[in-house]
């Protein structure tokens, strides 16, 4: 292992505790598309938090799963897709008292305390939508490069949709959930070869049609620019692990990228759904559990989200994983 290497490891996922089928979701009025359309897209189940479960609860469960591997965390990057999930305070208390501290009850701070990560500085990342998790990897990499004393960074994303929300966004069936991982100097896990992102703020309030209209060209671009950063060609990538979205969209993108669609992996599409910003981690974790990724293989993670944002990261399975 080279000393300058940054590695990602210890992946975990926590889902909303109630599981529903596509048909259940449609019957409950939580979807826009027909059940048949969502099923054809690859969705089968989704997961929803109970009334008393917060996004912080999801974050806690995800981190708790890997608490034995946390070590001496020097920073926590806590990403939420929905900015409101970056506050666990009660908005009603603010309205009653006028005291804005109720709007600044940060889950990242609470998490730091709960897991005794006393040395950790916390960073909230809440304006990158579904790409926040990949954004957190990028921040972690920057920190570890610029401030080596940080040592280990806990990256996580946690979201639950508010009561009354539709659970379909941009034609994807959404699940409440959290995902976490640790970025460090290893050993083990995946080398983080490159991170890259594009934001097009002019499309911040894009319609669903504009989101889809820009999806292919910008996703293609963010992949190409990330490959260039890593000095790699698409032929040197073994797996593409995208967010959970319509499978046909990736059949098309794979062809555009000249990449074998059989190596585009969304193994949790059916039983997890679109877990907002955690899809890449859920899919990567599943691939690892199924021992599909061999040492030395390169994995490209890519996600699009509101903002509009596109982010991409390239990982390489370390030999220690063999």
Regarding 200 and contact with other proteins (CB under 8 A), the answer is: yes
**Residues with Cβ within 8 Å of residue 81, at least 6 apart in sequence:** 126, 128, 129, 130, 132, 157, 159, 276, 277, 305
Helix (H, G, I), strand (E, B) or coil at 19: strand
Regarding 145 and contact with other proteins (CB under 8 A), the answer is: no
Regarding 131 and contact with other proteins (CB under 8 A), the answer is: no
User: In this complex, which beta carbon is closest to other proteins, that of residue 94 or of residue 220?
Assistant: 220
User: In this complex, which beta carbon is closest to other proteins, that of residue 184 or of residue 244?
Assistant: 244
In this structure, are residues 115 and 107 in contact, taking their beta carbons and an 8 Å threshold?
no
Please report, as residue ranges, which positions from 17 to 36 form the binding site for other proteins (by CB under 8 A).
33
Rounded Cα gap, residues 19 and 108, in angstroms? 27
Rounded Cα gap, residues 85 and 77, in angstroms? 14
**Residues with Cβ within 8 Å of residue 114, at least 6 apart in sequence:** 60
Rounded Cα gap, residues 254 and 109, in angstroms? 40
Among 248, 296, 319, 320, binds other proteins (CB under 8 A): 248
Q: Residue 76 CB, nearest distance to other proteins (Å)?
A: 33
Q: Residue 257 CB, nearest distance to other proteins (Å)?
A: 10
Helix (H, G, I), strand (E, B) or coil at 219: helix
User: In this complex, which beta carbon is closest to other proteins, that of residue 11 or of residue 167?
Assistant: 167
Rounded Cα gap, residues 283 and 169, in angstroms? 19
Regarding 212 and contact with other proteins (CB under 8 A), the answer is: yes
Among 246, 277, 303, 311, binds other proteins (CB under 8 A): 246
Regarding 202 and contact with other proteins (CB under 8 A), the answer is: yes
Regarding 44 and contact with other proteins (CB under 8 A), the answer is: no
Tokens (6 digits) for 202: 């002019």
Regarding 169 and contact with other proteins (CB under 8 A), the answer is: no
Positions in the binding site for other proteins (CB under 8 A): 33, 37, 40-41, 170-171, 200, 202-203, 207-210, 212-218, 220-221, 245-246, 248-249, 251-252, 255-256
């Amino acid at each position: 292992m080279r000393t300058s290497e940054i590695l990602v490891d210890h992946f975990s996922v926590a889902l909303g505790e109630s599981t529903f089928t596509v048909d259940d979701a449609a019957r409950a009025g939580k979807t826009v598309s027909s059940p048949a359309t969502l099923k054809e897209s690859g969705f089968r189940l989704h997961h929803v938090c109970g009334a008393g479960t917060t996004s912080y609860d999801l974050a806690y469960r995800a981190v708790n799963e890997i608490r034995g591997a946390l070590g001496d965390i020097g920073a926590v990057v806590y990403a939420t897709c929905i900015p409101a999930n970056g506050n666990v305070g009660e908005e009603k208390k603010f309205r009653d008292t006028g005291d804005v501290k109720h709007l600044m009850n940060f889950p990242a701070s609470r998490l730091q305390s709960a897991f005794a990560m006393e040395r950790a500085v916390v960073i909230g990342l809440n304006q990158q939508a579904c790409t926040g998790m990949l954004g957190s990897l990028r921040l972690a990499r920057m920190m570890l490069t610029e401030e080596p004393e940080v040592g280990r960074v806990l990256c996580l994303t946690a979201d639950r949709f508010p009561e009354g929300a539709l659970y379909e966004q941009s034609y994807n069936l959404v699940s409440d959930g959290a995902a976490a991982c640790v970025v460090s100097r290893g050993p083990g896990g995946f080398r983080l070869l490159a991170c890259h992102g594009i934001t097009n703020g002019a499309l911040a309030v894009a319609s669903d049609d504009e989101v889809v209209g820009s999806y292919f060209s910008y996703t293609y671009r963010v992949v190409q620019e990330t490959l260039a950063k890593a000095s790699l060609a698409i032929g040197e990538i073994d797996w593409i692990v995208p967010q959970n979205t319509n499978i046909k969209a990736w059949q098309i993108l794979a062809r555009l990228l000249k990449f074998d669609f059989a190596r585009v992996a969304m193994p949790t599409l059916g039983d997890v759904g679109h877990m907002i910003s955690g899809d890449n981690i859920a899919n990567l974790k599943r691939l690892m559990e199924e021992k599909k990724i061999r040492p030395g293989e390169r994995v490209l993670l890519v996600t699009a989200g509101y903002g509009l944002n596109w982010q991409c990261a390239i990982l390489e399975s370390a030999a220690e994983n063999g």
